[in-house]
Structure 1
Amino acid sequence: MVRLPPETGAFDYQLDEAYPPGPGVSVVVRDRSSRPPAGTYGVCYVNAFQTQPEDRATWLRERPFLVLRDAAGASVEDPDWPGEMLLDLGDRDRRTGAAAVVVGELDRCVRNGFRAVELDNLDSWTRSGGRITKADATAYAGLLVGAAHTRGLAVAQKNAAELLGTPGLPAFDFAVTEDCGAFDECEPFTRVYGARVLDVEYTDAGFDVACATGPPLRVVRRDLELAAPGAPGHVLRQCPGRS
């Protein structure tokens, strides 16, 4: 049975080294290779629309037909995250093939004790040079949402505010956003998902805007590297009065 995330308590975003959550934290997002901390609602991070840099060689060797290519035949990479190749979602067969791979990660999330999944890079079509469409992305997301729900996992919409309210949007259960305060996108998400919006801000200015939005939005200020406590550059703040 799908269990939705709690609507109270703070949350933390831990994609680097896992560490014990602070007081009042009820939701923790961790990588698929980790496990959720005891006593919290665990959200499993899966890079569902792009490849992880460490998996690049495997994709190119075992399933090169699922990697998006440019006109010269070279893999198309995310300009902001070197080594992350976009998946080719341009037809039904490729979407089905990519989903079959990601479903294996969903099964791993279940085995590791997570209750939900964050499917990252839903907006990869915006970086595809027109080779992937919004309709391709939502059709593929629909396959993954259905597979996750079958496995008892709730599913977060990750960013992509431009999809809110559009026909064909899959039945996401909650949202994980990045810098919705910095980009003035918080209210559209809370209008759709209410208290089930988890926002990560990477700047002080965006954090202040998001916190001023007020409940039901839950906000955490993190550093871009998502470093663990004690590591260089570590930043972790909760909105005053909401931790």
Structure 2
Amino acid sequence: MATNAAAEAATSEKPHVAKAKRSWPLWKKLTAFGVTLSVIIALAVGLGVGLTRGKGGNNSDETANSEADDSTEPYLKARSSLWQPKVGAQWQIVLLKPIKLNKDGSAKDLKPNVGIYDLDLYDNDAETFAALHKAGKKVICYFSAGSWEDWRDDKNQFKKADLGKTLDGWPDEKWLNLRSTNVRNIMKKRIKLAAQKGCDAIDPDNVDGYQNDNGLKLTKKDSIDYIKFLAAEAAKYNMSTGLKNAGDIISSVLPYVQFSVNEQCVEYSECETFAKFIKAKKPVFNIEYPKGAPKVKESDRKAICSKKGKAKGTEGFSTVIKKMNLDGWVMYCTGNTYQTAVEN
């Protein structure tokens, strides 16, 4: 297996292809590998445990199904209204591993001291989200809404007809049929789980299958309708919804979502497209992956944060500079860097 640095370098050097899924983040590769290894170990010792990662979160189908049958009322009470993040709000995103709290279970010393954390729905437990709330922070919960992942515990709930072509270069993921009632029912469970765990918003990924060779004849209209479905479902629990990339459907879904999570719009000179969110007084949470991170050249940082040239249109954006594996390291346009503690 290649080292993290080598794998990351290989990923970051892949050329951008228009209308295609961008490079699969290294954190996702490592997650898939980690789960596979967990299965092998579990079988070897005869434990028969499910695929759980992090600090004791239980992601089994049985748990997810039983939780999905609970009343929604307690979770509605936890969020009295739909959260609308402010333009320019500072944030951090960590997906590679669950974040690590203090020994007393608090998040009071968590770095960076920003108001919003975007974290993996499954890897982080409800106690982590509660600690973040106690520290005055909001939590956006990430999950893939448009691709089947072979390491997720609900993978067997998908039917053969729900699955499209394998994502180019990534044998562990397949595009999902966004029109499928079964797919939508599974996503309802995921969204309800997010509500139960205390998420303030959802970050549903891979909703732009129409831009790719998906094998399901997905269209823009399918993605637009799907985003509206996800947003309406999340709103039942007073959770906000973000649009992940998919710049060419912004005008159609902007009234239904509360923010954008964008990757590499500076790198590909696409930021003016996403500025529609700022005009609507909704934030753009922008991630850039410069070559060499965490050793970022000063010239690269300045270019990313210049608001001109390739960065034209980024006025008001909430930009973070990250490594492709989306671990705890982050740099801001001020040049300040931080390392969010994560579990081993």
TM-score (norm: length of structure 1): 0.81
- Candidates 198, 221, 226, aligned match of 1:140: 226
> How far apart are 1:119 and its partner, in Å?
1.0
Q: Does 1:77 align with 2:166?
A: yes
Query: Which residue of structure 1 aligns with residue 175 of structure 2?
Result: 86
Equivalent pairs, count: 224
Query: Which residue of structure 2 aligns with residue 155 of structure 1?
Result: 241
For 2:111 and 2:290, the matched residues in 1 are separated by 21
Q: Is the 1:181–1:207 Cα contact (8 Å) retained in structure 2? A: no
> How far apart are 1:241 and its partner, in Å?
6.9
> How far apart are 1:118 and its partner, in Å?
0.6
Q: Is the 1:219–1:238 Cα contact (8 Å) retained in structure 2? A: yes
Q: Does 1:64 align with 2:159?
A: yes
Where structure 1 has 5 or more consecutive residues not aligned to the other structure, the ranges are: 70-75, 229-234
> How far apart are 1:7 and its partner, in Å?
3.5
Query: Which residue of structure 1 aligns with residue 327 of structure 2?
Result: 227
Q: Does 1:30 align with 2:119?
A: yes
Would the alpha carbon gap of residues 130 and 67 (structure 1) be closer, same or farther in structure 2, given more than 3 Å must change?
closer
Q: Which amino acid aligns with 2:143?
A: V
Secondary structure of 1:164's aligned partner: helix
For 2:172 and 2:300, the matched residues in 1 are separated by 28
- Candidates 84, 89, 94, aligned match of 1:14: 94
Q: Is the 2:177–2:216 Cα contact (8 Å) retained in structure 1? A: no
> How far apart are 1:187 and its partner, in Å?
2.4
Equivalent pairs: percent with the same residue? 22
Q: Is the 2:92–2:112 Cα contact (8 Å) retained in structure 1? A: no
Query: Which residue of structure 2 aligns with residue 108 of structure 1?
Result: 193
State the Cα deviation string for residues 160-199 of structure 1 (Å, max 9, x = none): 1111224x66611110000111111222212334451101
Query: Which residue of structure 2 aligns with residue 231 of structure 1?
Result: none
Provide the alpha-carbon RMSD of the alignment.
Answer: 2.6
More helix by share: 2
For 2:187 and 2:300, the matched residues in 1 are separated by 32
Query: Which residue of structure 2 aligns with residue 40 of structure 1?
Result: 137
> How far apart are 1:68 and its partner, in Å?
2.8
For 1:242 and 1:164, the matched residues in 2 are separated by 31
Q: Does 1:55 align with 2:152?
A: yes
Q: Which amino acid aligns with 1:15?
A: L
- Candidates 283, 298, 302, aligned match of 1:196: 283
- Candidates 84, 106, 115, aligned match of 1:4: 84
Where structure 2 has 5 or more consecutive residues not aligned to the other structure, the ranges are: 1-80, 101-109, 292-298, 308-313, 338-344
Secondary structure of 2:140's aligned partner: strand
Query: Which residue of structure 1 aligns with residue 333 of structure 2?
Result: 239
For 2:113 and 2:335, the matched residues in 1 are separated by 11
